[in-house]
Amino acid sequence: MLTDGREIAADLVIVAAGIRANAELAQGAGLEVGRGIVVGDRMQTGRAGIYAIGECAEHRGICYGLVEPAYEQARVLASHLCGEAARYDGSVLATNLKVSGVSVFSAGDFIGAAGTEQIVLSDAGLGAYKKLVIANGRLVGAVLFGDTADGLWYLELIRSGASIAAIRDDLMFGRALAERAAPKELAA
């Protein structure tokens, strides 16, 4: 039933809910607020001594709404407050879950912007799909359906920005094969 009392018949209703920062207090205090409380690379607002992290913080136009970026932001802020040189450059987002019983993993830029190369492996018989996105000799994104065992390894490669040149030909086949093919390069 709608708020005006009308009813609309439906076979299926899908509700998608996201996050919206409750930034009324910050806005009332004169802080800049967009989708969240706007912060810089040290998690500081536009006013000295006032910081924001987590779901309420908007960094470089992004409100992450996930716990891992909040942990990363907290580490940066703690380091900064202790006088260490620290900055938050944003987070590489990753999702690892099951959808209708199928394991799904995604990380980084899995869409593939201009100038990227996409490598896809699809095996309907095994119920597996892998898409890796490469830019400038580095892994920048991954999508896995079915077999997600190497998801965290791909995420590590994405976050590190390490060159994949030594393992490029074996990258699609997972960590075990890639490390056997080029163990010296991966250990460095």
Give Cβ neighbours of residue 117 (< 8 Å, ≥ 6 apart): 133, 134, 135
In this prediction, residues 161-188 reach a mean pLDDT of 80
Which CATH entry fits the domain spanning 1-91: 3.20.20.70, 1.10.3720.10, 3.60.150.10, 3.50.50.60? 3.50.50.60
With beta carbons less than 8 A apart as the criterion, state whether 23 and 56 touch: yes
pLDDT, position 188: 45
What share of the chain in percent tops pLDDT 90? 55
Start and end residues for every CATH 3.50.50.60 domain found in the chain: 1-91
Residue pointed to by tokens 């996105």: 133
**By C-alpha distance, which of 132, 127, 118, 63 is closest to 99?**
127
pLDDT, position 114: 81
Q: How confident is the model at residue 183 (pLDDT cuts 50, 70, 90)?
A: low
CATH 3.40.50.300 fits 94-187, yes or no: no
